[in-house]
Structure 1
Amino acid sequence: MADRSDRDRAVVRALLDAHGSTYAEEAGIRLRDTPQPLYQLLVLSVLLSARIRAAAAVGAAQELFAAGLRDPRRMADASWQQRVDALGRGGYRRYDESTSTQLGEGAELVLREYGGDLRRLRDAADTDAALRRLLQTVPGLGPTGADIFLREVQRVWPRLAPRLGGKALQGAGRLGLPEDEEKLLRLAGDADPAALSAALVRAALDKSIAEELAAGSDRG
């Protein structure tokens, strides 16, 4: 049992070292509990919701922000074509037209319902389940996108932490780790749950990560 625990801890450490950046970090979002970065995370979560490579979603988010569309007012004021063009530059071409519409409508909703500040959305929900439901009123943000947002925002919304989620547990299974949130958190020690979740999700989405870690273990 001790050998198995030591092996699992080593796998978690290697996973975090190689793949422990959050998707927000990858997109260049300096996540804080303030309106602009929270909105940027919402945009990224919408983009990651589609059946498209995560790298394309991250690239599209970077292009939207580089075009100045960093807050809901600027996103709403941009033309549909400006949003399409930014998405295309990021490689987000399969869903660029429908997503442009969703981003515009979502920005309008955030402005109308929450004054552009997603902390008001958080404060309007008295439970995590209610928060998840409110997030899904944003166009383009279904259950998958809501889960992405909640996993990443736990870093600055402590009431949500620790949270890994179903996709992270799938990644744990692929790596031969316990598919149990409490056990995984213990194996990770004092590691950031948002980083652990992102790393496990990457393992769920990319089988080469399991092969990479297995090869590293064999060399060790």
Structure 2
Amino acid sequence: MSTEDVVSALLERHGTTYAEEAGIRLADEPAPLWQLLVLSLLLSARIRSSVAVAAARELFDAGYGTPRGMRDASWQDRVDALGRGHYRRYDERTSTQLGGLAHVVLEVFGGDLRRLHEQTRDLGGDLQQFKGIGPAGAAIFCREVQGVWTDLAPYVDRLAADGAERLGLPRSPDELAALVPARDLPRLVAGCVRAARDEKVVDDVLGD
């Protein structure tokens, strides 16, 4: 297969970002940026991504799609929403983390993560000030937010680079970004991450 064919198949079959799966219309606005941060925290746990996405949807449907909404919810309300998304193994700890996350975002950044973007020189590192967001969660946020915070692009972490290599694509962020229009880079990176995590994705794109 040509590189163009691999990229086309990957985008078509596996190029949905986690934000899209969770119903987040990502934009450089406070609410969707907060929602992406919540999703990144949920995806950080050792739990299936589909469960994390379902839990995020439940939280947002319950009215916790803003930092204030999350902070004002009771601890039990957050636990219940996580439970409806079957995020039960980590629900109590995560409810506490989400309350703390909302508090910090409100108190330090006025509920607007664009302020973090304006002042940071190391977004991946600064995101880890939030309890529950470690290196994996920070990488998830950066991979997806680069579509709206374009100064971060091309952001390709090691996991995405590993997936690209398995598909016969370049590991280099610049070379990988050159394969698609800028708007499609988060989708390409998302597909590469899936390829790194699941051999079936590689087989589906390249053929058995």
TM-score category of the 2 structures, normalised to the smaller one:
over 0.9
Residues 1:69 and 2:69 are matched in the alignment: no
1:118 aligned residue: 113
1:11 aligned residue: 6
Per the TM alignment, residue 20 of structure 1 is displaced from its structure 2 partner at its CA by: 1.1
Q: Distance in 2 between matches of 1:188 and 1:156?
A: 16
1:174 aligned residue: 166
TM-score by length of 1: 0.89
Per the TM alignment, residue 156 of structure 1 is displaced from its structure 2 partner at its CA by: 1.0
**Residues 40, 71 of structure 1: 8 Å contact kept:** yes
| 2:26 partner SS | coil
1:48-197 equivalent positions in 2, closer than 5 A: 48-125=43-120, 127=121, 129=122, 131-188=123-180, 192-197=184-189
Per the TM alignment, residue 183 of structure 1 is displaced from its structure 2 partner at its CA by: 2.6
| 2:68 partner SS | helix
Alpha-carbon distance change, 191 to 65 in structure 1, aligned in 2, over 3 angstroms: closer
**Residues 13, 188 of structure 1: 8 Å contact kept:** no
Count of residues in Structure 1 that have an aligned counterpart in Structure 2: 208
| 2:78 partner SS | helix
Residue by residue, what CA displacement relative to the aligned partner does 1:143-195 show, whole Å, maximum 9, x if unpaired?
11111111111111111112222111111122233322233223335661111
Q: Distance in 1 between matches of 2:36 and 2:98?
A: 13
Rg bigger for which structure? 1
TM-score by length of 2: 0.94
* Aligned partner (choices 191, 195, 212) of residue 204 of structure 2: 212
**Residues 9, 188 of structure 1: 8 Å contact kept:** no
| 1:64 partner SS | helix
Q: Distance in 2 between matches of 1:121 and 1:190?
A: 23
Residue by residue, what CA displacement relative to the aligned partner does 1:14-42 show, whole Å, maximum 9, x if unpaired?
00111112111110001111111110000
Alpha-carbon distance change, 61 to 79 in structure 1, aligned in 2, over 3 angstroms: same
Q: Distance in 1 between matches of 2:19 and 2:148?
A: 12
Give structure 2 stretches of 5+ with no counterpart.
none
Q: Distance in 2 between matches of 1:173 and 1:182?
A: 14
Alpha-carbon distance change, 75 to 189 in structure 1, aligned in 2, over 3 angstroms: closer
**Residues 147, 183 of structure 2: 8 Å contact kept:** no
Q: Distance in 1 between matches of 2:189 and 2:68?
A: 31
What is the identity, as a one-letter code, of the residue corresponding to 1:114?
A: F
Per the TM alignment, residue 9 of structure 1 is displaced from its structure 2 partner at its CA by: 2.1
**Residues 15, 190 of structure 2: 8 Å contact kept:** yes
Q: Distance in 2 between matches of 1:146 and 1:103?
A: 15
